[in-house]
């Protein structure tokens, strides 16, 4: 949601494209990020969350699927259950750690896929230009006529509940946005003299795109895609919350939030935990994206 309004930012930053960003450019960006306390803090938090998720099978204190009818909704700090138990008596800490695996996967994969697919389509549309560009962009305009949450719910609702369907739905939501960014940059770069010079010297379209255009396009699209990560996390968990994503008994933060909803009258802290993790992850993604954007801003 927030991402669509940042559309103009990456485009504006390339109004006067710098010479091709070389390897040293990314090095400068990296150094800039390492000196940014906000980026370090956000990166640290993310590393912690991702680490806990990745190593959950070895780190988690208990089996996330093992239910117990007599140990339901134990409060936080109960002996043996650091963060209490859920509505089926399963260890919350273990489920939260394992839940991170699916939640992060479902948040990150659609952005990666949209990054790849969107950049490719945008490059081609922008480079070929003319009627082909117009047709592609007009078709994508239709997707813009749908609010993104509605589009995601409608597609995954139509395809039927399930993890792969919600991944597909989210990817379809993000692709048009990425294409727009990639296309607008490509169209601007294409008209520059050095592209013309490369064409004159007999370079093939493929090598022009690969060597001369891609370097300019990748930056703004990368900035845009990092901004999408938090939106994607919230949407992905939202789909599971609606029952359209991951199915029980699989641990996933959005789904856990849903199944624990009736527990707010008994043990509100436990019920709020999975959502708090979505929140922290999404804030960290947003702060990191802001840092990346200012580190990559050529004008500075």
Partner 1 sequence: MFAYIIKRLIYAIPIALSVTVVSFVLVYLAPGDPLNAIAPADAPEEVIVALKSAYGLDKPVPVQYGLWLLRAVQGDLGTSIASGRAVTAEVLSAVSNTLLLAGMAALGGVLIGCILGALAGYRHGTWIDRVATVISVIGVSIPHYWLGLVLTIVFSIWLPWFPAMGAGPGGSSEWLWDVEHLRHLVLPALTLSVIPMGIITRTVRALVADMLEQEFVTALRARGLSGVAVFRHIAKNTAPTVLAVAGLQIGYLMGGSILVETVFAWPGTGFLLNTAIFQRDIPLLQGTILVLCMFFVVLNLLVDILQPLIDPRMGRG
Binding site for partner 1 (CB under 8 A): 1-2, 4-5, 138, 141-142, 145-151, 153-155, 157-160, 230, 234, 237-238, 241-244, 254, 257, 261, 264-265, 268, 271-272, 274-276, 278-279, 282-283, 285-287, 290
Taking the complex as a whole, the smallest distance from the CB of residue 176 to partner 1 amounts, in Å, to: 12
Taking the complex as a whole, the smallest distance from the CB of residue 161 to partner 1 amounts, in Å, to: 8
Report d(CA 7, CA 114) in Å as an integer: 15
Residues 101/102/104/108 CA torsion (nearest 10 deg): 130
Taking the complex as a whole, the smallest distance from the CB of residue 278 to partner 1 amounts, in Å, to: 5
Taking the complex as a whole, the smallest distance from the CB of residue 33 to partner 1 amounts, in Å, to: 18
Report d(CA 52, CA 61) in Å as an integer: 12
Residues 6+ apart with CB under 8 A from 95: 64, 86, 251, 256
Instruction: Give backbone dihedrals phi and psi of 298, rounded to 5 degrees, phi first.
Output: -65, -25
Nearer of residues 206 and 265 to partner 1, judged by Cβ? 265
Q: How far is CA 272 from CA 83, 194, 263, 276, in A?
A: 12, 56, 10, 6
Taking the complex as a whole, the smallest distance from the CB of residue 37 to partner 1 amounts, in Å, to: 14
Residue 37 neighbours by CB distance under 10 Å: 8
Residues 20/22/24/30 CA torsion (nearest 10 deg): 80
Nearer of residues 93 and 153 to partner 1, judged by Cβ? 153
Nearer of residues 154 and 214 to partner 1, judged by Cβ? 154
Taking the complex as a whole, the smallest distance from the CB of residue 58 to partner 1 amounts, in Å, to: 28
Taking the complex as a whole, the smallest distance from the CB of residue 272 to partner 1 amounts, in Å, to: 6
Exposure of 45 by Cβ count < 10 A (0-12 exposed, 13-18 middle, 19+ buried)?
A: middle
Residues 6+ apart with CB under 8 A from 13: 220, 297, 298, 299
Report d(CA 116, CA 139) in Å as an integer: 19
Nearer of residues 113 and 234 to partner 1, judged by Cβ? 234
Nearer of residues 150 and 197 to partner 1, judged by Cβ? 150
Nearer of residues 102 and 195 to partner 1, judged by Cβ? 102
Nearer of residues 52 and 271 to partner 1, judged by Cβ? 271
CB 299 within 8 A of CB 13: yes
Nearer of residues 215 and 275 to partner 1, judged by Cβ? 275
Taking the complex as a whole, the smallest distance from the CB of residue 294 to partner 1 amounts, in Å, to: 13
């Amino acid at each position: 949601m927030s991402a669509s309004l940042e559309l103009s930012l990456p485009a504006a930053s390339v109004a006067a494209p710098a010479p091709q960003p070389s390897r040293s450019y990314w090095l400068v960006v990296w150094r800039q990020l390492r000196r940014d306390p906000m980026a370090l803090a956000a990166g640290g938090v993310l590393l912690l969350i991702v680490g806990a998720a990745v190593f959950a099978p070895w780190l988690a204190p208990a089996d996330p699927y093992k239910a117990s009818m007599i140990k339901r909704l134990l409060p936080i700090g109960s002996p043996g259950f650091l963060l209490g138990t859920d509505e089926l008596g399963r260890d919350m800490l273990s489920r939260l750690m394992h839940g991170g695996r699916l939640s992060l996967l479902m948040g990150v994969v659609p952005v990666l896929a949209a990054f790849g697919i969107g950049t490719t389509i945008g490059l081609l549309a922008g480079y070929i230009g003319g009627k082909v560009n117009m047709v592609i962009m007009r078709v994508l305009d239709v997707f813009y006529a749908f609010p993104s949450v509605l589009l995601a719910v409608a597609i995954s609702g139509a395809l039927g509940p399930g993890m792969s369907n919600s991944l597909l739905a989210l990817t379809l939501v993000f692709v048009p946005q990425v294409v727009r960014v990639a296309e607008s940059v490509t169209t601007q770069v294409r008209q520059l003299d050095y592209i013309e010079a490369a064409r004159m010297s007999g370079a093939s379209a493929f090598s022009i795109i690969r060597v001369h255009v891609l370097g300019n396009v990748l930056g703004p699209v990368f900035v845009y895609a990092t901004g999408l990560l938090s939106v994607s996390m919230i949407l992905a968990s939202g789909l599971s919350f609606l029952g359209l994503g991951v199915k029980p008994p699989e641990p996933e933060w959005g789904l856990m939030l849903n199944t624990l909803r009736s527990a707010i009258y008994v043990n509100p802290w436990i019920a709020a935990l999975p959502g708090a993790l979505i929140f922290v992850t999404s804030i960290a993604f947003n702060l990191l994206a802001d840092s990346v954007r200012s580190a990559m801003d050529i004008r500075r």
